[in-house]
Structure 1
Amino acid sequence: MNFTFLSITRNMLTQITKVTAHDARLLFHFKLNYSTFKSPSAFKSKNTPNTLNIFKSKLSSMKGIHENISALQMKKRPIRKKRTALEDDEPKPPGVFSVVAFATAEEYKLEPLFQGLIKQDLYEPKIFANRNDSEINVIHATAKYQVEDEPREIFFFREGTIVLWNVGELESSNLLNLIKSYEQDRYGELLVQQEAEIMDYRYVPDNRPCYIENGDFILIKDKEGETLSNEKYAFSNAMALSVKLGMWEASLDRYVESIAFVTEDLKRGNKISMTQDDVLRKHGELFALRHLINLSSDLLDTPDFYWERDQLEVLYTQTCNYFSIPRRTKVMNEKLNHCFELIELLSSHLSDKHHTRLEWMIIILIMVEVVFETVHYAERYLH
């Protein structure tokens, strides 16, 4: 009895699996046109098109649409219009200077870097915007040897970014080589240059707070000392956040490209070439990137430094909006959500396959046991 039940169950499963999604679509469209087939007058009317031809044309158009769907139709991240190094080499009007931001690594070891700058004796480093007494988060260094009236200043951020004010190309290259010894998880050189931000800044005789005008940072000429340094820091903080976000955007683009083949396999019904370990690894990469964006950075919140400095907070927010940081962060989170849905689908699919395999193993074992019991029963009956 058990053997008959298993055979019937297996035949039912086999018949069910023969109904594919394509067959279901054919039945659905056939049902839509069935009313036309039922009316004999429809075939006689000259104004009524042949229903069978309509049915065939719909099927062919469906096939064409299906074949034209590309794998993971991800729109490439548009390259934001930035100043390039070539444009920055053009002669500048008097009183116009450059500020450049680079993201070169995941993190800087600022404590050894601070001691290294002191030992080098070319810059005067100071701890800037420290959140607590135990850890340095920003170093503000000023060149000791002046080339012109405008000072050369550098901001080092623990998050792996450096912002250089009025620093020439040769000196910038030397500084980038200097900090290599203090980097953790360095980025590729080409990517560092591609995601760099270059801006101009100038001074105006005005009593207003600093602002952005026509893509330039406008600083107030009469301000000096700590006030001017704080305003430069606010600009630098937003620039550093922008280049860091650019690195994460590039990482997400590479991630999406690495799983592009999966949607093609799903679309064609091919066997998924990823294992459960691969899917788990991809899950981990997504969680790590989401953690960096939403928990370990200031993309979603204003840093504590600006809480009691309202004018600087306005300047920081204005600069973040200029670099489209809120919008870019929102787009990144939406892309991450779509990637999570795909990885969850793969995880569920692989789990179902594993469960199905286990169920078939159990069925086979039961069948083997039934066969042995049948043989034993036959032997007892014959004896």
Structure 2
Amino acid sequence: MNFTRALFAKGFTVIAQTSGQRGFLTVTTAAKRSLFCNYRKVLAVPKNLTQYRSVHENTVSPIQIKKRVTRKKRNEEEDLAAQGFFNVTAFSTAEQYDLEALVVGLEEQNLYAAKKFFSTDNLGAEQDVLYVTAKYMVNGEARDIFFFREGSVVMWNFNELEANNVLSFLKPYEKDGYLKVLVKGESEIMPYTYIPEPIEIAEDTQPSKTQALFKNGKFFLSKGDQTFLEKYTFSNAMATSIKLGIWEATLERYIEGMEYLTEDLKKGRRIKIDRAQALRMTGELFALRHMINLSSDLLDTPDFYWDREQLETLYIQVCSYFSINRRTKVMNEKINHCVELAELISHNLNDKHHIRLEWMIIILIMVEVGFEILHHMERHYQSNEPQAMVPVAH
């Protein structure tokens, strides 16, 4: 029986008959011959298990190739929808949007109404956020969109089909758009719902004012005048996270493109890159560092919240949920290492360029010395030649 089990484990078919008692196996004579022949083959099985399986895949028992039944995962979105939650989805599709032209396009499309076009800085020099609302509701809930000038869009209560339609509509208004795969891969989706309004118990008591909150990865909004600001706060944090995700993916692609250079340096091979490419690589790194540390609000809370403490608390909580501070710190560390590598490569190429120039100067000097030697020899031979006697006429 142990021998039979061993052959079963090796993947061979055993022709067997079941005895009267359950659990016992009787091997026929023909099967024994096949087993011993196959056992000799087992002794010569190669170490490459893949090759072995390909040779003997026709002899695998149906019991062994039976697939494990996979359990269906619980659909979390359907469960949240049953509990009264809606979805808010965020995408970052480009480096920048032309919001002024987008307002005109939305008016021509006549599906969404522009509600606010406002600035988020204290100076109000440039309007950088466009807030629109769909002209029809779904399941009794409004459908809002926040367009951020830095190339992000956040959609409230949009299904996947209509979200894709909005992304397609945005294409003409994008500047330096991203790849579709990158946009889909770095998107965020979060559930949200509304806090029930407090019930007034007595006539002389005032109902307590409900405030939005963020708990367990879910947005809870209050119904009232503050709903717009609360949606903007959550949208701002999500837009910041996905934009950081786009930059993280860009940096990872940059790092993968530099791997062959590190291998060449490690093995002492010639670096297969010129000075122009090295300069361009360094410029891309500094441009990315500029966007992260200077052109965005990753290092500090935006000025929009300085006099809105409750909204600032919500913004900080959501940013902490997405680990924005830690991710920003990690990105800066990676950029520093990439800058060091780029500078090392640039110095190496500059040294080679200087050596090449020095050799060119040396060769030119040698050529000039050679010509001077030829001229000197020519003058020497001319001075040693006997001058011809010219007869003097009387």
The TM-score with structure 2 as length reference comes to: 0.70
Alpha-carbon offset, residue 159 of structure 1: 0.9
In structure 2, C-alpha distance between the alignment counterparts of 1:154 and 1:375, rounded to whole Å:
84
* Contact 2:92/2:183 (8 A) holds in 1: yes
What is the Cα deviation at residue 158 of structure 1?
Answer: 0.7
Please list, as runs of the form range in 1=range in 2, the aligned pairs for 1:316-355 lying within 5 A after superposition: 316-355=315-354
How far the C-alpha of 1:371 sits from its partner, in A, is 4.8
Distance 1:209 1:147 in 2: 24
Aligned pairs for 1:304-319 (under 5 A) are 304-319=303-318
1:321-342: per-residue Cα shift (whole Å, max 9, x none)?
1111111111111111111111
The two structures, once aligned, show a CA RMSD in angstroms of 2.2
Residue 152 of structure 1 corresponds to 143
Matched, 1:365 2:364: yes
Other-structure match for 2:213: 211
Contact 2:98 2:149 in 1 (8 A): yes
- The 3-state SS of whatever aligns with 1:348 is helix
Change (3 A) 1:135 1:115: farther
Cα distance in 2 for residues equivalent to 1:184 and 1:87: 35
Q: Which residue of 2 aligns with 1:192?
A: 183
Which runs of no fewer than 5 residues in structure 1 stay unpaired? 1-85
Output the CA distance in 2 between the equivalents of 1:141 and 1:350.
53
Q: 1:161 pairs with 152, 165, 189, which one?
A: 152
CA displacement at 1:244 relative to structure 2: 0.7
Query: Which of 1 and 2 has higher RCO (CA within 8 Å, sep 6+)?
Result: 1
Q: Give the aligned partner of residue 262 of structure 2.
A: 263
Cα distance in structure 2, aligned partners of 1:292 and 1:137: 16
1:123 aligns with 2:112: yes
Answering whether residue 241 of structure 2 is matched by residue 242 of structure 1, we say yes
Separation in 1, partners of 2:353, 2:84: 69
CA distance in 1, matches of 2:78, 2:100: 34
Cα shift readout 1:229-281 (whole Å, capped 9, x = no counterpart): 10111000000011111111111111111121111111111111100111111
Structure 2 contact 195–210 (Cα < 8 Å) conserved: no
Bigger drift between 266-275 and 138-147 goes to: 138-147
- Give, in angstroms, the shift of residue 129 of structure 1: 4.1
Partner of 1:202: 193
Deviation by residue 1:53-102 (Cα, 9 ceiling, x = unmatched): xxxxxxxxxxxxxxxxxxxxxxxxxxxxxxxxx85466622311111101
Deviation of 1:154 after TM superposition, in Å, equals 1.0
Aligned pair in 2 of structure 1 residues 374, 217: CA closer, same or farther (>3 Å)? Answer: same
Counterpart residue identity of residue 224, structure 2: E
Q: 1:97-136, aligned counterparts within 5 Å?
A: 97-130=86-119, 131=121, 135-136=126-127
Whether the 8 Å CA contact 1:127–1:136 is kept in 2: the answer is no
* Matched residue type, 2:271: I
* Contact residue 108 and residue 157 of structure 1 kept, 8 A: yes
Q: Distance in 1 between matches of 2:307 and 2:257?
A: 45
Matches within 5 A, 1:40-189: 88=77, 92-130=81-119, 131=121, 135-189=126-180
Q: Tell me the secondary structure at the aligned position of residue 81 of structure 2.
A: coil
Q: Aligned equivalents of 1:268 and 1:202: distance in 2? A: 58
Matched residue SS, 2:221: strand
**SS of equivalent to 1:154:** strand
Q: Is the 8 Å Cα contact of residues 188 and 238 (structure 2) preserved in structure 1?
A: yes
Write the distance in 1 (CA, Å) between the matches of 2:170 and 2:252: 27
1:203-237 CA distance string (max 9 Å, x none): 233756322211111223xx312x11101110000
Write the distance in 2 (CA, Å) between the matches of 1:96 and 1:139.
Answer: 25
Q: 1:335 is aligned with what amino acid?
A: K
Structure 1 Cα separation of the partners of residues 165 and 249 of structure 2:
26
Native 8 Å contact 1:103 1:161 kept in 2: yes
- The Cα shift of 1:136 comes to 2.4
What secondary structure sits across from 2:301 in the alignment?
coil
1:172-196 Cα distance to aligned partner (Å, 9 max, x none): 1221121112111111111111100
Q: Structure 2: 5+ residue runs without aligned partners?
A: 1-74, 199-208, 385-394
SS in 2 for 1:92: helix
Separation in structure 1 between the aligned mates of residue 135 and residue 363 of structure 2, nearest angstrom: 81
Secondary structure of residue in 1 paired with 2:256: helix
Task: Point out the structure with max Rg over C-alpha.
Answer: 2
- Give the superposition deviation at 1:376: 6.0
| Equivalent-residue separation in structure 2 for 1:115 and 1:365 (angstroms) | 66
Deviation by residue 1:311-357 (Cα, 9 ceiling, x = unmatched)? 11111111111111111111111111111111111111111111112
Kindly state the Cα deviation for residue 363 of structure 1 after the two structures are TM-superposed: 2.7
AA of the residue aligned to 2:139:
E
Instruction: In structure 2, give the amino acid aligned to 1:219.
Output: L
Which letter maps to 2:246? Answer: M
Deviations 1:277-318 (A, max 9, x none): 111111121122112111221112222211211111111111
- The answer to whether the aligner puts 1:272 opposite 2:271 as a matched pair is yes
| Counterpart position of 1:254 | 253
1:92 alignment partner AA: A
Q: CA separation of 1:376/1:116 partners in 2, compared to 1, >3 Å: closer, same or farther?
A: closer
What is the total number of aligned residue pairs between the two structures? 295
